[in-house]
Amino acid sequence: MKKVLSGILFLAMLLSIAAMPVMAEEERPTLTVFVEAVATIEDFETNAATLWVEDKIGANLDFIVAPAGSAEEKMNVLLNGKNYPDIFYLKVPDEDLYGVETGILMDLTSLLPEMEYFNYNLNYYPIMGESMWASDGKLYAFPTYDGALGHGNFPVKMLMNSDHMAELGLDFPTDLDEFHDALEAWVALDPENHIGLIGNTDNPPSDPLYWITNAFTYQPGNNWGYYLGLRTNNDVVETMFDDEEYREALRYMHALYEEGLLYDASYTQNREQATALLASEGYPVLAWATTHNVRIVNASNTPDLYAATDFVAPIKGYNGEQYSTYIPNAVGSFMAISSTCEYPEIAAQFADLFYSAEGIAVINFGPIELGHWRLPTEEEIALCEAANAPIPQYLRTDAFESGTQNFKWQPANPGIGGMADAENPHCRDLPVDYESLNYDDAVNGPAYRIYATTTQQLPLYQEVYETIPALKFTAAEKEEKATLEVSLESYLKQARIDFITGAKDLDADWDAYVAGIEELNMSRLVEIYQGVIDRNQK
């Protein structure tokens, strides 16, 4: 009965919000919001989700948009120029430096009692309350946390076109040799037009090396795992980028490149170019690396390609190695308010929307009247009750839109599980009979991703090698590690590409490469991470 009541309360909550009086636009205060440009969002100012937010909080949002990839530089200019935006969204300044030390960021603690949905989340996920505070015990940024297991916990994935595999008469590969042979067979079928494997520069898992590496040794996640190879080995921090197993993963990738099975623009093309390549005439690509099935396949524009897009289970290496990159849920931060903000209570209302079920739905899929999501019916609520399952707070009604649009903020959305009430955690799926589910239907995409995660990735979870979670560093540690990381990341990225493309030789140049890692003081960076982990365990 509690679940039924929570569903009814959520419906009532939507009605009550809709009934709130809307302030005339000329009477509204204005909040300035710092954001980073997103290629798939046409215009933050006129976006339908923005207009919805403005109506809910009774204020106008004026966006300061940093060019994509340049948010840190733009943010530093604003902070040094003392002309601060009211809100920093997703790109949050260092809390110790700009909150504890300089007071540029506002202490948010006094605003929390009036944040209804934030407190629902805080009650449901106590880890938020344990981890969100700065070193002085105050709060300078609103936290993010979604405690549910999702496909994002296992982000390093490979997808293949199942129609092409059927044309080849092949089953999906289970080891390195079978993967190579499938690529080879596809390219040989039409050497002028067929492409075996592609990557792109969208995000780290879009580099196929990371998926291949898991057939040799454990590839850690998070930026320090992808870019620096940092992981724990039985709780001891190390980098795996100087390991022999990593060298063999590079050797395998180099062989694919030399044989023309790895697309030569994989390390230069962006996400949009990869999407266009996949959708080009004849769907020429057999396999591609990404985080999930709709990140670079547009289910609306190419529904037949979407229907043929299937996950490949992690493959086994030559010695039976078989890993899957796992990233644990962690408390992060997504929004800060500057100390010069004249309307902190309204800014806090803005933040609180992201902790609500409706807010999460609108940010991800647009306002409900646009028809991209709906509320569960009474029959569906009864179905959940009968199955003793959580009641979905909203349900998708159409395919995921990955192209340019102007009705939602996704992918500029924080990782928060919106709450309808204190007893109802974030849920957007009905109880699913996975055996009978039509995975070719784009609306079933989230269920398919969970199914693939739980059947292909989760069984490979292990605790010998682990991804290092988000850590809280002191200001001095942050400054020192940032200097080390800039040089190391640049060096390791270029070396990775050079080894794959053959600009460097994996035999003749390997020792010099390893020596270069130490010359850039990787051992000191490892010490810093180890020290923070040891401190947190006390």
Segment among 153-157, 197-201, 293-297, 459-463 with least mean pLDDT: 293-297
Mean pLDDT of the chain: 92
| Cis, bond preceding 220 (omega within 30 deg of 0) | no
Residue with tokens 């710092």: 34
Residue 193 pLDDT greater than 50, yes or no: yes
φ/ψ of residue 285, rounded to 5: -95, 135
User: Across residues 24-53, what is the average pLDDT?
Assistant: 93
pLDDT of residue 13: 47
pLDDT of residue 4: 40
pLDDT in tens, 93-107: 999 899 999 999 999
Residue 454 pLDDT greater than 50, yes or no: yes
% of the chain residues with pLDDT over 90: 76
Of the pLDDT bands very low, low, confident and very high (cuts 50, 70, 90), residue 165 is very high
Give the DSSP letter of residue 435.
T
Could you tell me which residue, 418 or 513, shows the higher pLDDT? 513
Bridge partners for 312 per DSSP: 158
Residue 232 burial (CB count, 10 A):
20
What pairing do the DSSP bridges indicate for beta strands 195-198 and 285-290?
parallel
CA distances from 503 to 180, 509, 517 (A): 22, 10, 18
CB 164 within 8 A of CB 182: no
Residue 455 pLDDT greater than 50, yes or no: yes
pLDDT in tens, 137-161: 999 999 999 887 888 899 999 999 9
pLDDT in tens, 395-450: 999 877 777 899 999 989 998 888 888 877 778 888 888 888 888 888 888 889 98
- And the tokens for 417? 């599980």
User: Across residues 371-384, what is the average pLDDT?
Assistant: 94
Whole-angstrom distance, CA of residue 335 vs CA of residue 332: 10
Among the listed residues 50, 43, 35, the one whose alpha carbon sits nearest the alpha carbon of residue 406: 43
Residue 12 pLDDT greater than 70, yes or no: no
Helix (H) or strand (E) holding 380: helix 378-386
Map out the domains of the chain as residue ranges.
Answer: 2-147+329-396, 155-325+436-466, 475-537
Same fold, 2-147+329-396 and 155-325+436-466: yes
CA angle at 53 for the pair 47 and 55, rounded to the nearest 5° = 105
Cβ burial 118-141 (10 Å sphere, 16+ → b, else e)? bbbbbebbeebbebbebeeebbbb
Residue 204 pLDDT greater than 80, yes or no: yes
pLDDT of residue 24: 55
Residue with tokens 């899929």: 365
Indicate the fold that domain 2-147+329-396 takes in CATH: D-Maltodextrin-Binding Protein; domain 2 (3.40.190)
Of the pLDDT bands very low, low, confident and very high (cuts 50, 70, 90), residue 16 is very low
Segment among 27-36, 165-174, 347-356, 468-477 with least mean pLDDT: 468-477
φ/ψ of residue 81, rounded to 5: -85, -5
Tell me the CATH number of domain 155-325+436-466, given options 3.30.70.2190, 3.40.50.720, 3.40.190.10, 3.40.190.290: 3.40.190.10
CA angle at 353 for the pair 357 and 222, rounded to the nearest 5° = 80
Helix (H/G/I), strand (E/B), else coil: 286: strand
- And the tokens for 25? 């636009």
Of the pLDDT bands very low, low, confident and very high (cuts 50, 70, 90), residue 181 is very high
Residue 183 pLDDT greater than 80, yes or no: yes
CB 217 within 8 A of CB 245: yes
Furthest-apart CA atoms within the chain: distance in Å: 72
pLDDT of residue 19: 42
Residue 8 pLDDT greater than 50, yes or no: no
Of the pLDDT bands very low, low, confident and very high (cuts 50, 70, 90), residue 26 is low
Residue 353 pLDDT greater than 90, yes or no: yes
pLDDT of residue 9: 43
Helix (H) or strand (E) holding 288: strand 285-290
- And the tokens for 500? 């794959």
Helix (H/G/I), strand (E/B), else coil: 304: helix
pLDDT in tens, 248-304: 999 999 999 999 999 999 999 999 999 999 999 999 999 999 998 888 998 888 999
Helix (H/G/I), strand (E/B), else coil: 178: helix
pLDDT of residue 184: 99
Burial class for 290, CB neighbours closer than 10 Å (0-12, 13-18, 19+): buried
Could you tell me which residue, 485 or 411, shows the higher pLDDT? 485
Q: What is the DSSP string of 259-279?
A: TT-B-TTTTT--HHHHHHHHH
Whole-angstrom distance, CA of residue 500 vs CA of residue 255: 8
Among the listed residues 204, 235, 224, the one whose alpha carbon sits nearest the alpha carbon of residue 488: 224
Of the pLDDT bands very low, low, confident and very high (cuts 50, 70, 90), residue 187 is very high
CB 183 within 8 A of CB 256: yes
Whole-angstrom distance, CA of residue 228 vs CA of residue 246: 12
